[in-house]
Amino acid sequence: MGDASKNGFLRAGELARLSGVSTDTLRHYERKGVLPKPGRSRNRYRQYPPEAAKRVLMIQRALAIGFTLDELAGILNVRDNGGSPCGRVLEIAAAKLAALEQRIVETIALRDELSSILDDWDAKLSSTQPGGRAALLESLTGRNLSKARDPQFQKSGKPRQKHRRS
Protein backbone atom coordinates (compact mmCIF):
# COMPACT_ATOMS: atom_id res chain seq x y z
CA MET A 1 0.00 0.00 0.00
CA GLY A 2 1.21 3.42 -0.72
CA ASP A 3 -0.81 5.80 1.39
CA ALA A 4 -0.43 4.37 4.84
CA SER A 5 -3.31 3.74 7.18
CA LYS A 6 -5.76 4.30 4.28
CA ASN A 7 -6.23 7.95 5.26
CA GLY A 8 -4.28 10.58 3.40
CA PHE A 9 -1.46 10.39 5.90
CA LEU A 10 2.11 9.42 5.33
CA ARG A 11 4.26 7.24 7.46
CA ALA A 12 7.87 8.04 8.21
CA GLY A 13 9.32 5.83 5.52
CA GLU A 14 6.90 7.13 2.93
CA LEU A 15 7.58 10.75 3.62
CA ALA A 16 11.25 9.93 3.69
CA ARG A 17 11.23 8.35 0.26
CA LEU A 18 8.98 11.09 -1.01
CA SER A 19 11.27 13.85 0.07
CA GLY A 20 14.55 12.11 -0.46
CA VAL A 21 15.80 12.05 3.09
CA SER A 22 16.15 9.27 5.62
CA THR A 23 13.70 8.61 8.40
CA ASP A 24 16.52 9.38 10.77
CA THR A 25 16.71 12.80 9.28
CA LEU A 26 13.00 13.29 9.69
CA ARG A 27 13.24 12.44 13.34
CA HIS A 28 16.18 14.78 13.60
CA TYR A 29 14.19 17.62 12.07
CA GLU A 30 11.49 16.95 14.57
CA ARG A 31 13.93 16.95 17.44
CA LYS A 32 15.35 20.19 16.19
CA GLY A 33 11.91 21.69 15.98
CA VAL A 34 11.82 22.47 12.28
CA LEU A 35 9.31 19.79 11.46
CA PRO A 36 6.14 19.97 13.55
CA LYS A 37 5.40 16.86 15.56
CA PRO A 38 2.95 14.83 13.56
CA GLY A 39 0.03 13.01 15.08
CA ARG A 40 0.32 9.36 15.95
CA SER A 41 -1.82 6.44 15.06
CA ARG A 42 -2.84 3.87 17.64
CA ASN A 43 0.42 2.04 17.18
CA ARG A 44 2.33 5.23 17.88
CA TYR A 45 3.45 5.48 14.29
CA ARG A 46 3.86 9.01 13.03
CA GLN A 47 1.15 10.24 10.69
CA TYR A 48 2.48 13.00 8.53
CA PRO A 49 0.02 15.21 6.68
CA PRO A 50 0.82 15.40 2.97
CA GLU A 51 1.95 19.01 3.35
CA ALA A 52 4.84 17.71 5.38
CA ALA A 53 6.57 16.87 2.12
CA LYS A 54 6.55 20.54 1.17
CA ARG A 55 7.86 21.43 4.56
CA VAL A 56 10.77 19.05 4.26
CA LEU A 57 11.48 20.38 0.83
CA MET A 58 11.49 23.91 2.16
CA ILE A 59 13.84 22.91 4.92
CA GLN A 60 16.23 21.41 2.41
CA ARG A 61 16.12 24.55 0.32
CA ALA A 62 16.74 26.75 3.28
CA LEU A 63 19.63 24.56 4.37
CA ALA A 64 21.09 24.73 0.90
CA ILE A 65 20.92 28.49 1.06
CA GLY A 66 22.88 28.39 4.24
CA PHE A 67 20.30 28.57 6.96
CA THR A 68 20.96 26.57 10.05
CA LEU A 69 18.49 24.15 11.56
CA ASP A 70 18.48 26.24 14.71
CA GLU A 71 17.86 29.46 12.86
CA LEU A 72 15.12 27.75 10.95
CA ALA A 73 13.61 26.43 14.13
CA GLY A 74 13.44 29.91 15.55
CA ILE A 75 11.82 31.29 12.46
CA LEU A 76 9.39 28.50 11.86
CA ASN A 77 8.25 28.42 15.44
CA VAL A 78 7.31 32.05 15.35
CA ARG A 79 5.60 31.50 12.06
CA ASP A 80 3.70 28.41 13.01
CA ASN A 81 2.22 30.48 15.81
CA GLY A 82 0.84 33.14 13.54
CA GLY A 83 3.82 35.46 13.75
CA SER A 84 5.51 36.99 10.74
CA PRO A 85 9.27 36.60 11.08
CA CYS A 86 9.81 37.76 7.54
CA GLY A 87 11.99 40.60 8.63
CA ARG A 88 14.20 38.20 10.47
CA VAL A 89 14.24 35.82 7.54
CA LEU A 90 15.32 38.58 5.24
CA GLU A 91 17.97 39.64 7.67
CA ILE A 92 19.48 36.20 7.97
CA ALA A 93 19.24 35.55 4.27
CA ALA A 94 21.04 38.78 3.51
CA ALA A 95 23.80 37.78 5.88
CA LYS A 96 24.04 34.41 4.20
CA LEU A 97 24.30 36.08 0.86
CA ALA A 98 27.13 38.26 2.05
CA ALA A 99 28.86 35.24 3.49
CA LEU A 100 28.49 33.41 0.21
CA GLU A 101 29.91 36.33 -1.72
CA GLN A 102 32.91 36.43 0.50
CA ARG A 103 33.37 32.73 0.38
CA ILE A 104 33.34 32.80 -3.37
CA VAL A 105 36.03 35.43 -3.52
CA GLU A 106 38.16 33.57 -1.04
CA THR A 107 37.68 30.24 -2.71
CA ILE A 108 38.58 31.62 -6.08
CA ALA A 109 41.71 33.18 -4.68
CA LEU A 110 42.54 29.86 -3.16
CA ARG A 111 41.90 28.07 -6.40
CA ASP A 112 44.18 30.41 -8.33
CA GLU A 113 46.79 30.04 -5.67
CA LEU A 114 46.66 26.29 -5.68
CA SER A 115 46.57 26.21 -9.42
CA SER A 116 49.74 28.21 -9.71
CA ILE A 117 51.35 26.13 -7.03
CA LEU A 118 50.56 23.02 -8.99
CA ASP A 119 52.17 24.50 -12.06
CA ASP A 120 55.28 25.17 -10.02
CA TRP A 121 55.26 21.71 -8.67
CA ASP A 122 54.78 20.05 -11.99
CA ALA A 123 57.80 21.92 -13.24
CA LYS A 124 59.91 21.20 -10.20
CA LEU A 125 58.98 17.58 -10.16
CA SER A 126 59.85 17.01 -13.79
CA SER A 127 63.26 18.53 -13.27
CA THR A 128 63.97 16.37 -10.26
CA GLN A 129 65.48 12.92 -10.15
CA PRO A 130 62.86 10.24 -9.65
CA GLY A 131 62.85 9.51 -5.97
CA GLY A 132 64.46 12.83 -5.23
CA ARG A 133 62.84 15.45 -3.08
CA ALA A 134 61.37 18.45 -4.79
CA ALA A 135 60.46 20.14 -1.53
CA LEU A 136 57.02 20.97 -2.80
CA LEU A 137 55.52 21.68 0.57
CA GLU A 138 58.38 23.96 1.50
CA SER A 139 57.65 26.19 -1.41
CA LEU A 140 54.41 27.06 0.32
CA THR A 141 56.22 28.89 3.05
CA GLY A 142 57.44 31.58 0.75
CA ARG A 143 54.14 32.14 -0.93
CA ASN A 144 51.86 34.98 -0.16
CA LEU A 145 48.73 33.02 0.32
CA SER A 146 45.75 35.13 1.24
CA LYS A 147 44.75 34.58 4.81
CA ALA A 148 41.58 33.05 3.53
CA ARG A 149 41.01 29.97 5.52
CA ASP A 150 38.57 27.84 3.73
CA PRO A 151 36.69 25.58 6.10
CA GLN A 152 33.13 26.86 6.11
CA PHE A 153 32.38 29.76 8.32
CA GLN A 154 35.33 30.20 10.54
CA LYS A 155 35.10 32.60 13.34
CA SER A 156 37.41 35.36 12.28
CA GLY A 157 39.87 37.09 14.52
CA LYS A 158 43.05 36.19 16.23
CA PRO A 159 43.49 32.99 18.12
CA ARG A 160 41.68 33.15 21.36
CA GLN A 161 42.48 30.92 24.23
CA LYS A 162 40.59 32.05 27.21
CA HIS A 163 42.25 32.84 30.43
CA ARG A 164 42.12 30.27 33.09
CA ARG A 165 40.22 31.43 36.10
CA SER A 166 41.32 28.98 38.74
Partner DNA sequence: CTTGACCCTGGAATCTATTCCAGACCTTAT
Partner DNA sequence: ATAAGGTCTGGAATAGATTCCAGGGTCAAG
Footprint of DNA (CB under 7 A): 11-14, 16, 21-25, 27-29, 32, 42-46, 60, 63, 67-70, 149, 151, 159-162, 164-166
By DSSP bridging, strand 39-40 and strand 46-47 are antiparallel
**Binds 2: which of a second copy, DNA, none (CB < 5-8 Å by kind):** none
Q: Does 69 bind a second copy (CB under 8 A)?
A: no
Torsion of CA 110, 113, 114, 115, to 10 degrees: 120
Nearest distance in Å: CB 2, a second copy? 19
**Binds 111: which of DNA, a second copy, none (CB < 5-8 Å by kind):** a second copy
Draw the binding track, 20-59, toward a second copy (x: CB under 8 A; -: no contact).
xxxxxx----------------------------x--xx-
- Window of 1-9, 13-21, 37-45 that interacts with a second copy by CB under 8 A: 13-21
**Binds 150: which of DNA, a second copy, none (CB < 5-8 Å by kind):** a second copy
Residues 6+ apart with CB under 8 A from 27: 12
Q: How far apart are CA 91 and CA 98, in angstroms?
A: 11
Q: Which is nearer to a second copy, 43 or 81 (CB)?
A: 81
Q: Which is nearer to DNA, 127 or 150 (CB)?
A: 150
- Amino acid, single-letter form, for residue 51: E
β strands within 2-140, DSSP E: 39-40, 46-47
- Window of 3-11, 15-23, 39-47 that interacts with a second copy by CB under 8 A: 15-23
Contact yes or no for 147/110 (Cβ under 8 A): no
Q: How far apart are CA 4 and CA 12, in angstroms?
A: 10
Residues making up the chain, counted from first to last: 166
